[in-house]
A and B are shown apart, each in its own frame.
Chain A
């Protein structure tokens, strides 16, 4: 039964190594046997899924604005613009100034050259704190700080796209993306908001972004393999990708009134925090699946599995335990996009619902075909290290 306060998806903005926009992603990801776009040399021994060629001018008109951002903020601002365009909100002052925003963010890019110079000098200096002062006061570009600040992705979206109803930035890897979508949906459902921009971006082509995983040995090394096939491989199983995903969530009544196309309805969204060191992850995933109240019959699941060995094995065994579920781990084709992972999963789920077709298997050895029309699709994000979330995305009618 639909209700006026339902949360519906009316805009999708996607960027990954596979291209940009919902149409391009649908066309690519529905090609059987699609190959991932990989760069195995630039950060060897790690493989990454690099950004596609992007004409930033298409979503960030002012060169001055582009210069104020590093690639991560530019990427997020760009993907947000795609979503606003798709929802018919971009350039509409009334809708933008009343639009709320929740961004899932990590940190921006440090200056690698300055860092490398400081590290090199530290080999011959014992007064390293003084060395830091010397180098940082003279070599840091003053505005770089703003290009690194987590909440400045949202800040740039306000400046470039004029979204100014409210602006909140959540931090914390996949969990930030889950909480952002969950909180946005709760605000719409309760009548606190009518339309919200929610999403995130991840720019992996920077050594610090890889270091964030590798301090715990999470990255996969050696030859690339699909997400489900990395157990026992060299390294920790994660192959990262640059990309971004933004959604426009809207109260059903609000979307209908302005005559917008609705991709799908969103909800329920469930989330959790397993104490993994105590071995709670399996039970937590099972509990989330139960809370999500899966429909009867064959179910397509867009899995945000990262490839991280323990988390991916736990998710796989939970999904395999339900023979009705046909999972698609999209990171096989896009790489892991951290804060953007859950919004990306929800977007792919919404596309399948709207196009009334499933994606073919991304890994024939581990995924099974799905032949029906997916009226409801599950989206998951089991964090590579912590935090878990899932959502059901359903046909809007």
Chain B
């Protein structure tokens, strides 16, 4: 019989359902097929005009009914679609999930199209005064709800029958990993037997793109979109803004086995450490990222030599990839040169609030399928970053444990350790 408690006496947390949506498609099957054949989902932007924009490519999800309906509705649909796949796979009741919900999603604002339409429905006064007057005359709540930070989770809670007050969170680009961590912790504390953790981001609006662009964070390799995201390459020039969602059904191993569920993987450990150096840059010595990786390993009860593969944050920005290399080589020492480390973002771009959850889903599939997705566009290696990035072609390999990194603006560093089998 499997051990049901981990090295610290806490309930072991299993994954019994996985769902994912990216620019490569809806669902695990399509995504995995594309990912393992090195296909890129990055394409020219068609959702809005790109006049005057320096970056005209993205990994937007353009094929859902809500794709043109604004960040809030698209984020909901992305979350709902991934969660439906995950809950269905787990075999639990998708209308009565009966566990808590943790949602990583982008901060929401009144969409510009709504702003324009409200403003131009009247002609008295100007600016905010007019908007406020029009607003208080609205007869329905649809627009209001797109501006409430808790509304997407509220709708998901209705849809899936989750229990209690749903938590919506943001830790920037680490959000998806934090949503999983919160679910793991709730199960370990014995508050619940199962949790639904979702990361979803459908916020690639013109304004979001411009904001990142003004910070010089985005790639401007517009001519060959599928070549723009090139983590760990010498000529990497920024990340590619993208959308997507990942959802995991987490369960105590005990509860999952008791109901005869298929165990898709184990959440072994979570680690985090905040950086106090700068709003967008990491501490030059990499100490917070190093501490986050070490905290995740310690939480998992694994040594540095027990990680088989690293699912990198690998954003393709000059700064991130350099710092990630520094922190990984500090933790793993000489072994780092021979450990496979690949970046899903080379194909799907940076799905921001969803990234940690999407990449956890792909990490679990990597172990189950014994196939490591490649880092594509690795044509011009950065000589300062000596890593086995699984260049350009997938690799067949037995992978028993994965470290997945998420590092974000505001000094957010969260790492997850997953395993194929319970100990």
Contacts and interface: CB of A to CB of B under 8 A. Distances in A.
Interface residues of B, number: 77
A3 interface: no
Given A159-B276, A171-B107, A178 B165 contact: yes
A170 B277 contact: no
B412 A211 contact: no
Max chain A C-beta neighbours (<10 A), residue from B105, B131, B164, B274? B274
B274 A389 contact: no
A9 interface: no
Interface in B41-62: 48-53
A145 to B, nearest CB: 4
A175 B211 contact: no
Nearest to B181: A168
Given A137-B53, A146-B280, A158-B276, A164 B411 contact: yes
A359 B49 CA distance: 58
B132 A179 contact: no
Nearest to A383: B150
A140 interface: yes
Contacts of B213: 137
A179 B412 contact: no
Given A112-B128, A146-B279, A271-B164, A173 B107 contact: no
A387 B127 contact: no
Nearest to A136: B210
A116 B126 contact: yes
B392 to A, nearest CB: 34
A212 B148 contact: yes
Given A120-B126, A159-B411, A172-B149, A214 B135 contact: yes
Nearest to B139: A217
A183 B171 contact: no
Contact of B277 (A142, A159, A176, A388): A159
Contacts of A212: 147-148
A215 B189 contact: no
Contact of B136 (A107, A219, A383): A219
A187 interface: yes
B214 A207 contact: no
A235 B136 CA distance: 8
A166 B409 contact: no
Contact of B409 (A101, A120, A140, A151): A151
Given A137-B210, A149-B409, A169 B171 contact: yes
B172 interface: yes
Given A122-B116, A169-B169, A214 B150 contact: no
B158 interface: yes
A371 interface: no
A212 to B, nearest CB: 5
A367 interface: no
Contacts of A387: 150, 154, 165
A116 B172 CA distance: 28
A106 B149 CA distance: 7
Interface stretch (A21-29, A80-88, A126-134, A295-303): A126-134
Contacts of B215: 142-143, 145-146
B272 interface: yes
A273 B109 contact: no
A136 B170 contact: no
A254 interface: no
A119 interface: yes
A101 B274 CA distance: 10
Interface string A139-153: 010110110111110
A214 B148 CA distance: 12
B279 A110 contact: no
A90 interface: no
A66 interface: no
B167 A158 contact: no
B1 to A, nearest CB: 26
B151 interface: yes
Contact of A207 (B51, B123, B132, B206): B132
A187 B154 CA distance: 24
Interface residues of A, number: 81
A145 B214 CA distance: 9
A215 B110 contact: yes
A68 interface: yes
B99 interface: no
A317 interface: no
B206 A129 contact: yes
A179 B148 contact: no
A210 B210 contact: no
Contact of A154 (B165, B191, B410): B410
A216 interface: yes
Contacts of B130: 119
Contact of A130 (B51, B164, B210): B51
Given A101-B274, A133-B210, A214-B136, A172 B168 contact: yes
Contact of A163 (B107, B185, B274, B409): B274
Max chain A C-beta neighbours (<10 A), residue from B275, B276, B278? B276
Contacts of A175: 150, 165
B410 A170 contact: no
A172 B191 contact: no
B360 interface: no
Contact of A155 (B151, B169, B411): B411
Contact of B52 (A133, A149, A216, A271): A133
B120 interface: yes
B276 to A, nearest CB: 4
Interface in A157-202: 158-159, 162-173, 175-176, 178-179, 182-183, 186-187, 190, 192
B49 A129 contact: yes
Contact of A273 (B51, B108, B165, B409): B165
Nearest to B276: A158
Contacts of A282: none
B244 interface: no
Contacts of B211: 140, 145
- 8 pairs of A and B residues whose beta carbons are closest in the complex: A155-B410, A172-B150, A207-B128, A116-B127, A215-B144, A142-B214, A171-B149, A167-B274
Given A123-B120, A167-B274, A388-B165, 9 more contacts: A119-B126, A137-B213, A159-B276, A162-B276, A168-B171, A172-B167, A176-B150, A212-B148, A217-B135
Interface of A: 46, 68, 101, 105-107, 110, 112, 115-116, 119-120, 122-123, 127-130, 132-134, 136-137, 140, 142-143, 145-146, 148-152, 154-156, 158-159, 162-173, 175-176, 178-179, 182-183, 186-187, 190, 192, 207-208, 210-212, 214-217, 219, 235, 271-273, 275, 383, 385-389
16 contacts: A122-B120, A123-B120, A142-B214, A166-B272, A167-B411, A171-B107, A171-B150, A173-B148, A175-B150, A214-B136, A215-B144, A216-B144, A272-B164, A273-B157, A273-B166, A385-B148
